[in-house]
A and B are shown apart, each in its own frame.
Chain A
Amino acid sequence: MSHRIYLLPPWLRIWHWTNAALMIVLAVTGASLHFADPGLYLVPFSLAAKFHDIAGVALLVAYGFFVLANIVTGNWWQYVPKPPGVLARCWKQIVFYGWGIFWGAPHPYPPTKEANFNALQAIVYWVIMYVVVPTVILTGVVFLFPDLAPAKVFGLDGLLPVAMLHYLAGAAVILFMLAHIYLGTTGVRPTSLFKMMITGWHEE
């Protein structure tokens, strides 16, 4: 029987899957809007616009809950990479993904109740959740209320920089999501980390 520890409280798991579902809807509809073309098989524009708006507002609410819950429960501390040796630990983690994992080496920093995330995870999650996602949300809010955007920036419509930021930050979230889902297969078994996100129990 393998060793199990209870890591993830229900609120975190519910938020995670809500966030995941919304992100997928936003990614698919967002790409359909940005790359809109009569010749491409994308979500029809008006439908995509409607779903993108609804999912965007829902994401804002979910994000607000995430921030509040992190403060209340103290979970925010997990996202802070703890010195000393943060970079060295990140490097060790990168070497594991680039080499050790192929040879069956054990995870260099398995999660504990005190430290859910390895240093690389903490840094990447922190940047995504506290820099990139808020950028997408804030620029999305301006998109919903375009009057909030400046009228002109360097002679061009003021919504342009907002839109570019929204697009690029959205693309960064999608790239993160791909890597995040893939790294979900690197548990003891390919499915164990997905199971952990459902049950809350981490298996070693």
Chain B
Amino acid sequence: MRSASPSLFAAFALALFAAALGAANAADVKGAAPTDPALIEKIRTSNAECYACHTEAGLKNPPRADMDLAALAKTIHDPKQFDGSNHTGMECKICHGQGYVAFPHAPEAKKAISECGECHATKALRVETQFKDSVHAKNLADKFTCQTCHDPHVYKVAVKVGDPRKIVAQDNAMCVDCHNSDLRYASFSAVLPTKKVRPDLYATHDFLPNARLHWSAVRCIECHTPMSPVKSLATSHEILGKDKSEKACVTCHSQDSALATRLYRFSAANVGTDLGFANASVLGSAYVVGATRHPLIDRAVIALFGLTVAGLLGHGAVRIVMAFFRRRRTS
């Protein structure tokens, strides 16, 4: 991952710039989407200029005849997806800079695209300390950037996605984009001293019962990131290789399930609580053996079991004693 520290000065400068622009423009830099109608219209008009080419419609009907359509095909975006992403409401040029204002774009424009840390400085610092211990940093170092996993035009943080199944689909797609694609995997492994062949996901997860079901119900990072007792650090960027990743099923499949502080940390805790289930927030979208249990029903079943055993042993004991006395009487 590229270091965020060279970007700190830029972030500082940008923050000063944003402060100078005033509250209306603050949303351009970071945080919630803008609410000022005039600003929204300005951003819409500005982004429409980009979408005129960088969309499927633009590619089909390019507004100019002198365009490199092969290059354009690699840089098209879906406005609907962008509007559903974290960066909705932002002007394309906030990140893509002045080099992209005119066409043809400046030859060095790509190098001037803002790095994530310029806006997300605090997060970048935290992520970097986690990332440097990850298997990706170990193997790929600088070749691995935020965008390798997080497409800023599409990505949405879990808390905003809400539905755990949708969080799983989005987050796992980031992993399998490479780990289930020979082409993408090979393009990254090419930098390694010894070329690595992509391991088959089913083969590496052969210990996992119902692997496909797990992959649709939980995120890869549920097992492939370290556990943290701190709730806000429950999702880490320290991606673990197979040797260090979680293999104990009971980490999730137990009453004290890690799912509650991980995938389901943003789910409504009151889903099913009026029915008295443990890990009630999970029950909204999944039944997890060992985790989504009902303590009262469990106690009733255990009590019935105990009473039955005690009753049968007691019955047997009385039979033995009575048989003993009967034998003594007859002899």
Q: Interface of A with B (CB < 8 Å)?
A: 33-38, 44-46, 49-50, 53, 97, 101-104, 146, 155-157, 159-160, 162-164, 167-168, 171, 174-175, 178-179, 182, 185
Contacts and interface: CB of A to CB of B under 8 A. Distances in A.
Contacts of A167: 297, 301
Contacts of B209: 46, 49-50, 53
27 contacts: A34-B298, A36-B253, A36-B290, A37-B250, A38-B248, A38-B250, A50-B209, A53-B209, A97-B315, A101-B319, A104-B326, A155-B284, A156-B283, A156-B284, A157-B284, A159-B287, A160-B287, A160-B292, A163-B287, A163-B289, A163-B292, A164-B294, A167-B301, A174-B305, A175-B308, A178-B305, A179-B308
Contacts of B315: 97, 182
B320 to A, nearest CB: 10
A149 to B, nearest CB: 8
Given A46-B209, A46-B249, A182 B305 contact: no
A53 B286 CA distance: 20
Interface of B: 207-209, 213, 248-251, 253-256, 271-272, 283-287, 289-290, 292-294, 297-298, 301, 304-305, 308-309, 312, 315-316, 318-319, 322-323, 326
B88 to A, nearest CB: 29
A44 B253 CA distance: 11
Contacts of B287: 157, 159-160, 162-163
Contacts of A46: 207-209, 249
A171 B304 CA distance: 9
A168 B326 CA distance: 41
A63 to B, nearest CB: 22
B272 A102 contact: no
Sorted nearest first, the 7 A-B pairs with minimum C-beta distance are A36-B290, A45-B249, A159-B287, A182-B312, A102-B322, A49-B209, A171-B301
Contacts of A36: 249-250, 253-254, 289-290
Contacts of B301: 167-168, 171
Nearest to A156: B283
Given A36-B254, A37-B254, A159-B286, 18 more contacts: A33-B290, A34-B289, A35-B298, A36-B289, A37-B250, A45-B249, A50-B209, A103-B322, A155-B271, A155-B284, A160-B283, A160-B292, A164-B294, A164-B297, A167-B297, A168-B301, A175-B308, A182-B315
A6 B147 CA distance: 78
A103 B294 CA distance: 43
A46 B223 CA distance: 15
B326 A157 contact: no
A178 to B, nearest CB: 5
A35 B283 CA distance: 17
Contacts of A178: 305, 308-309, 312
Nearest to A159: B287
A145 B304 CA distance: 30
A42 to B, nearest CB: 9
A26 to B, nearest CB: 14
A45 B305 CA distance: 22
Contacts of A162: 287
A45 B250 contact: yes
A101 B312 CA distance: 13
A34 B284 CA distance: 19
B324 to A, nearest CB: 11
Contacts of A37: 250, 254-256, 290
Contacts of B305: 171, 174-175, 178
B317 to A, nearest CB: 11
Contacts of B213: 146
Contacts of B284: 155-157
Nearest to B302: A35
A35 B299 CA distance: 11
Nearest to B321: A102
B197 to A, nearest CB: 27
B271 A156 contact: yes
A114 B209 CA distance: 48
Contacts of A49: 209, 249
Contacts of A175: 304-305, 308
B283 A157 contact: yes
